[in-house]
Amino acid sequence: MTQHISQRRAFDYLRGHVTCTVFASLGIIGVLDELAERGLRVADLGANQYLAEATLRYLAQRDIVIRDDGDFYVLTEAGRDLYADRGYLMWLSGGYGDALHHYGDLLTGKRTFGSDIDRDVRWVAVGTALVGQRDLRPEVMAILDEISFDSIADIGCGNAHFLIAACQASGGRGVGVDISPAACAEANHEVAEAGLADRITIYEADGSDAATIPQLESVQLVVTFFFLHEVLEHGYDVLVSYLRGLCDRLPAGAYMLTAEEIPPTTEQNVPEVLTPEYSLTQALMEQSLLTEEGWRKVFGEAGFEIVRLVRPNLPDCRLVLVRKPI
């Protein structure tokens, strides 16, 4: 039987690719929030007015925006759903768009990831923060309500949105560490905007070296969100050694909370909605993911006690709360 053209999956992928790229680009140029708040006119999108008009027309054709009685385009109900999940699109398109565009060159070795082509760490961080705010933070804050701490270190803090929220909720002090100068600059700006410059310090440093992370001896909670698999890139034993180094420096009874994606459960036609794509982006950097049981094992070998393991709303993610024995 001949398949009707509307049922051919290639067009779903084509539409998804273009919509992801266009919608994420509005966030990257800084007009997406304005679209959500009051709408946009063609003139608001930039100097290329012909392309700006075509952009809003395309989004209208795909039921993401609708034109009001005047010159403004505003989000539809479907557009608002997409806006709520914009972090995923900005993480992928903004963070890995260039690498995916040159995917064939990476496969053949014509180009090398990390030298010829790289991810955009700023948009990886911004996208991840937006994703976490909606689909991770509620469960994280519920966990933090159950433990006692007044000092926190965020390794791989990105723009420091979570660190700010945790310090505001606890009334405590915080240390943020990130290797990206752009992420640190944005974090310092956000900390200042929140009025917490006297309580939060941001350090530009390699968080994968436990010996150089400042103030761990007085920290009662360490958080690492989607960071530890980057240490795992260097080997399982390296990850165990790194976590053992953190454990040795932390005071007795200190907690550590990590969030990580787990790998797909099977090789064929998996049910997971995110981790196949996430795993592929990490493969660009020759990074792999641990299973739920793998995280239990690695923390145990490093000297931590498993306190809780939570499945948050973020697809295919695990939150692992551990503690240094008293």
Residue 100 falls inside a structural domain = no
> Where residue 289 falls among pLDDT bands split at 50, 70, 90?
very high
Mean pLDDT of the chain: 94
Q: Which of 57, 84, 111 is the last residue of a domain?
A: 84
Residue 240 falls inside a structural domain = yes
Same domain? 128 vs 216: yes
The arithmetic mean of pLDDT across residues 114-137, rounded, is 91
Same domain? 158 vs 277: yes
The answer for 30, left when phi > 0, alpha when psi is -120 to 50, beta otherwise, is left
> Where residue 174 falls among pLDDT bands split at 50, 70, 90?
very high
Q: Which of 56, 84, 112 is the last residue of a domain?
A: 84
Virtual torsion, Cα 168, 172, 178, 180, nearest 10 deg? 40
Compute φ and ψ for 67, nearest 5 degrees. Answer: -85, 135
d(CA 271, CA 264): 8
pLDDT tens, residue by residue, 226-277:
999 999 999 999 999 999 999 999 999 999 999 999 999 999 999 999 999 9
Residue 113 falls inside a structural domain = no
Same domain? 167 vs 56: no
d(CA 205, CA 110): 31
The arithmetic mean of pLDDT across residues 6-15, rounded, is 91
Which range among 77-86, 98-107, 153-162 shows the weakest confidence by mean pLDDT?
153-162
Residue 93 falls inside a structural domain = no
Same domain? 153 vs 240: yes
> Where residue 1 falls among pLDDT bands split at 50, 70, 90?
low
The arithmetic mean of pLDDT across residues 150-174, rounded, is 92
Q: Which of 63, 84, 105 is the last residue of a domain?
A: 84
* End-to-end C-alpha distance for the chain, whole angstroms: 68
CATH number, domain with residue 56: 1.10.10.10
pLDDT of residue 249: 95
CATH number, domain with residue 200: 3.40.50.150
Residue 98 falls inside a structural domain = no
Give the count of domains, the chain: 2
Q: Is the pLDDT of residue 113 over 90?
A: yes
pLDDT of residue 2: 66
Same domain? 39 vs 183: no
Residue 103 falls inside a structural domain = no
Chain center to CA of 169: 21
Same domain? 77 vs 128: no
Residues of the chain with pLDDT > 70: what percent?
Answer: 99
**What is the Cα Rg of the chain in Å?**
21
* pLDDT: which is higher, 7 or 173: 173
Same domain? 48 vs 157: no
pLDDT of residue 5: 78
Residue 80 falls inside a structural domain = yes
Same domain? 209 vs 316: yes
Instruction: Supply the range of the domain harboring residue 299.
Output: 121-323
Same domain? 78 vs 136: no
pLDDT tens, residue by residue, 193-223:
999 999 999 999 989 988 888 989 999 999 9
Asked if 322 contacts 249 with a C-beta cutoff of 8 angstroms, the reply is no
pLDDT of residue 189: 94
pLDDT of residue 159: 85
DSSP state of 113: B
Same domain? 75 vs 129: no
* pLDDT: which is higher, 8 or 55: 55
pLDDT tens, residue by residue, 31-58:
999 999 999 999 999 999 999 999 999 9
Same domain? 65 vs 15: yes
Same domain? 50 vs 179: no
Residue 168 falls inside a structural domain = yes
